[in-house]
Amino acid sequence: MEITNRMKTAVIIGAGTQGQVYASYLKEAGINLIGFMDDNPDLLGKEVIGIPVLGKYTDLFLDEFKEKIQDVYCPIGINSVRIEYLSTLKKEGYGIPGFLHHTVSIAPDVILGEAVYMLAGNSVMPHTTIGNYVMINSGSTIAHHATLEDGVFMSSGVNIGALIHVKRNAYIGMGVTAMTGIKEIGEETLIGAGTVIIRDVPDYVVLAGNPGRVLRTKKPQGIVSDPNNPSDLTFIGSGISSSFTILQFLNKIKDQEVKRKITINVIDKYSEFHLGIPYGERSGFSVHLITSLKNFLPEPELGVFIEWLNKNKYWLLDEFRKEGGELAANWIDTHSERIQNNDWEPLFVPRRFFGKYLEEKITECISHAKQKGQIAINYIEAEAIDLDKNNGGYKIILKNKNIIYSKKVVLSVGSLPVRYLWKNAPLVEEEKLLFVNNPYQPELKKVLKKIDQFVSNRKNENTNVLIVGANASGLELLYKLNDVEGIASKINKFTVLSTQGLLPDAVPDEERMKTFVPNNLKALSNASSLTAKEIADATYKDLDYADEINLGPASTVGIISSAFGALLGKLDEEELRTFACRYGNDIGRRQRCAGFHYSKNIDQLKKEERFDHIAGRFVTINKADTNEYFLEYLDTASGTNMVSDVPVHLVINCVGSTNFSQEDVPELLANVVQKGFCKPNNSRIGIDVNEALEASDNLHIVGPLLAGNLLEGKAVWHVEHCGRIIWLSKLLSEQMHTYFFEK
């Protein structure tokens, strides 16, 4: 978290008593506070405690204010207002630093979110997590292993006992005591002053007294959404699929005069918008693309991005070096000449570079469209859990019980979520085991911090790591465990478990690939018609042959993919659909490649005899009488269950997504399937759509859920690749243009 930067000009939103308290402390801390922003027209141009009131909140959207103000503090106790203002202003380009009074005592391993405010005399004990936009007045204590989720407000003199989980936007009054032993204080709860909490508090209640009792259930704060005046367009999920759809749509109307504003909602369950899991906070600043830049982006986007990289590389590399460890520094040094010469195409550049580029691009584009009066855009941080039809459009039900009405809805929720392997939680902590089911939830950095704490607590005991899945994520986690200072040295052995027992290939053999010919696929070139199975069988044979002669996918992927791609024109529609649903992804799994920097790390571990690879399928983790945990797996070679003979202490699940035939499909998708609004296709990871990318009237799909379809005559399967996402988002943006401007 950025705490304070005395060089930057700062304002406080709200010139009331709370704002005045913060003004005193900020000035004491030497911050360059130049004024208040306050919506009270009587205060405009006047001074409050000697500090000028410069304007109202909305003035911060004007260029003249953006030019003179860099940082914004918003110590407003109403959680929803504070979060909305700060998250909106962040998107407008303002800094939103946190503020910790110099008397605050924070244990070194506490995880702190963004824009956290703590006044005098607070004490935060070890192994505590404090989310974004948390605000704590003076003299409170947060005991060890407690968690305060995003947006929590605590008044003065509050005591939160050990291990208690305070959920989003809880408002805790003065002098409240939450006794150790309770598990959680619910989302959006209001706890009256002096309450003594002795049992768990459900979501959305008002609680008071000693012992605390529920007085009433609160009505969730309503987002203004009128069934008779629905928004035009709502995106559920804000990753690169929705961003490229919005970008390409706005580019199309850039110079167009519009008769009325198009109202757009963007909903995401995570606090960051536009970047999705791979390119924003959830992945962090120190992980790389899984392909070279040349293979990641198509032209003309590639050229524009490279030009942007050339201009921005110094600060990007600086951030990358700061957030990464030894291996990140190594990557920069290894490629310094190429970077110096702006020769980016062969590099597996850090993913966040692309995220930063996209963020800048879409912010500019939206700001232009807003200025021209073409759109109004509304960001909603919430999980969508259900849809119902409403006057030809949809009613979107959010987990926080708010409802959004929209004429058109786009499901841009990314791939199906990670399939949990063991117990039903993203992270399971036991005394001698840390099991990470989803390394990107809530964020990779926070998970790595947990891992660091776990291995550090083991003191002199050896730690064995198991990574389940030998795909890009598996390699990424192996890399990061060796990159973060302090973790790798405490790890004894790294084991990867994967069905094939093979790692993604990294180094192309430039010489031998020149002479490699996919003979089995070539033999089909004269056939007038083919079946999907015939093409797939020939592909498998060519892949087998490449394995036999030790030529890995890094050398053959381009050759084999173009060879089978050229044959797809010989399939009739039904066979093409079969290829998309059944064989495309399966072939892809055998063509996995990785960056050299990731594979070099494994080579090093092999040299140190600290790496092992088991060919098998995860069954479970068993606890022995010694309290140690052991892996049980289905051995690929023998087809029998086996138990590893060394204990495992840290397990990271990288097996990838679930599918529509499993029971763990997320609530929203389970509901839209059950109501018949969406029909999963035979790929089991995609939903059937028509040429307008509609699963039902006015319910569109974009991104990985398009797998298994035929669009513009092409078979679509692996919609994870950025180039394919840009293509499909363009198709959808054209549909939107037709609907809003041509119909």
Ligand X SMILES: Cc1cc2nc3c(=O)[nH]c(=O)nc-3n(C[C@H](O)[C@H](O)[C@H](O)COP(=O)(O)OP(=O)(O)OC[C@H]3O[C@@H](n4cnc5c(N)ncnc54)[C@H](O)[C@@H]3O)c2cc1C
Site residues, ligand X (CB under 6 A): 236-242, 267-270, 276-278, 283, 289-291, 296, 351, 383-384, 412-415, 440, 473, 668, 703-704, 720-722, 725
Block residue for tokens 């973790």: 487
Q: How far is CA 391 from CA 33, 148, 310, 406, 608, in A?
A: 51, 40, 50, 10, 65
Q: What is the DSSP letter of 61?
A: G
Minimum distance, C-beta of residue 245 to ligand X, in the bound complex (Å): 9
CB 650 within 8 A of CB 643: no
- When the beta carbons of 38 and 281 are compared against ligand X, the nearer one is 281
Backbone phi and psi for residue 449, each to the nearest 5 degrees, phi listed first:
-65, -45
- When the beta carbons of 418 and 581 are compared against ligand X, the nearer one is 418
Minimum distance, C-beta of residue 423 to ligand X, in the bound complex (Å): 21
Q: Which two tokens stand for residue 310?
A: 């050339």
Pairing of the two strands 611-623 and 629-635:
antiparallel
- When the beta carbons of 201 and 267 are compared against ligand X, the nearer one is 267
Minimum distance, C-beta of residue 267 to ligand X, in the bound complex (Å): 5
Cβ neighbourhood burial of 567 (10 Å; 0-12, 13-18, 19+): buried
Minimum distance, C-beta of residue 415 to ligand X, in the bound complex (Å): 5
- When the beta carbons of 415 and 658 are compared against ligand X, the nearer one is 415
Q: Which two tokens stand for residue 416?
A: 């199906």
Query: Distance between CA 245 and CA 235 in Å, rounded?
Result: 10
Query: Distance between CA 245 and CA 486 in Å, rounded?
Result: 42
Minimum distance, C-beta of residue 323 to ligand X, in the bound complex (Å): 16
Block residue for tokens 């569109």: 700
CB crowding 290-326: b at 16 or more within 10 Å, else e: bbbbebbbeeebbeebbebbeeebeebbeebeebbbe
- When the beta carbons of 14 and 237 are compared against ligand X, the nearer one is 237
- When the beta carbons of 38 and 476 are compared against ligand X, the nearer one is 476
Q: Which two tokens stand for residue 213?
A: 């009792």
CB 689 within 8 A of CB 706: yes
- When the beta carbons of 236 and 328 are compared against ligand X, the nearer one is 236
- When the beta carbons of 440 and 677 are compared against ligand X, the nearer one is 440
3-class state of residue 558 by DSSP: helix
3-state SS track over 78-103: CHHHHHHHHHHHHHCCCECCCEECCC
Tell me whether the omega of the peptide bond preceding residue 300 falls within 30 degrees of 0, making it cis: yes
- When the beta carbons of 328 and 722 are compared against ligand X, the nearer one is 722
Minimum distance, C-beta of residue 229 to ligand X, in the bound complex (Å): 23
Among candidate residues 62, 69, 91, 68, the one with its CA nearest the CA of residue 13? 69
Minimum distance, C-beta of residue 119 to ligand X, in the bound complex (Å): 32
- When the beta carbons of 383 and 632 are compared against ligand X, the nearer one is 383
Minimum distance, C-beta of residue 600 to ligand X, in the bound complex (Å): 18
Minimum distance, C-beta of residue 301 to ligand X, in the bound complex (Å): 12
Minimum distance, C-beta of residue 384 to ligand X, in the bound complex (Å): 4
CA 267 to chain centre: 14
